[in-house]
Amino acid sequence: MDDGAVIIELGGGANPVLKEEIVTLRKFNYLVIDTSKEELQKATGEYFTRIHTDIEKTDVEYKADLIISKMVLEHIPNPNIFHQSIFNLLKNNGSVIHFYATLYNIASISNILLPEFISSYLVKRIQKRDATTEAKFPAFYRKCFGPTKNQIDYFNNLGYNITQFNGYLGHHYFYFNKLLYKIENLYNKILLRINSPYFCSNAILILKKYD
């Protein structure tokens, strides 16, 4: 990544991924886009530009060398529109990095099956999450799988080239509850034996847009 590159983070809100030191050192033009003005206002620091908009509905004047998202894809109700909007935001030869939660882990399944008010309560009780800095949002998990053939074909058909696509097991959601933590570890051991790209907790996806 060249110095001065334009980096867009989608859904960064209160917690942008990149640290001030690296952004300042490399003179990146770091733009944090979020649909929530309230979340953007929670973020500290002046080393990035806050942009309150929805890329699915509004054109953004910038073109990015790199677009990143962390734990955002699972919250997108219309992934086709979202990913096409990202594609349009990229410069030629630009890259996208997504880190997201996948559908078939205990936390995700619970999130889908339980009413929102119950899952929000459990998040607060079990994860000890500070809602002021780590708010919980509705999750849909649409097109949120590991490196399955269908998922690979999906992104290729959108015009992307896949540089890297890996699924992982494990997360920190149940760390503060010993019983749930043990159940999760047992579940992960079963998934390791199954060894299917459908069954992972999280995935990292790196995409490239070529001329």
Q: Report the predicted TM-score, pTM, of the whole model to 2 decimal places.
A: 0.85
pLDDT of residue 119: 59
Q: Which domains does the chain have, with CATH numbers?
A: 6-208 (3.40.50.150)
pLDDT of residue 124: 61
Residue 123 has pLDDT above 90, yes or no: no
Q: Are 145 and 197 in contact (CB under 8 A)?
A: yes
Q: Where are the extended beta strands (E) located within the chain? A: 6-10, 29-34, 49-52, 64-70, 90-101, 161-168, 202-208
Structure letter (DSSP) for residue 136: -
Q: Are 40 and 63 in contact (CB under 8 A)?
A: no
Q: What are phi and psi of 30, to 5 degrees?
A: -100, 115
**For 37-63, what is each residue's pLDDT tens digit?**
999 999 999 999 999 999 998 878 889
Q: How far is CA 88 from CA 83, 95, 126, 129, 204, in A?
A: 9, 12, 39, 35, 21
How many beta carbons lie within 10 A of that of residue 20, not counting itself?
A: 14
pLDDT classification of 15: cutoffs 50, 70, 90: very high
Mean pLDDT of 139-155: 96
CA count, 13 A, side-chain hemisphere, 185: 7
Nearest to 71 by CA among 148, 141, 155: 141
- What's the residue count for the chain? 211
Residue 129 has pLDDT above 60, yes or no: no
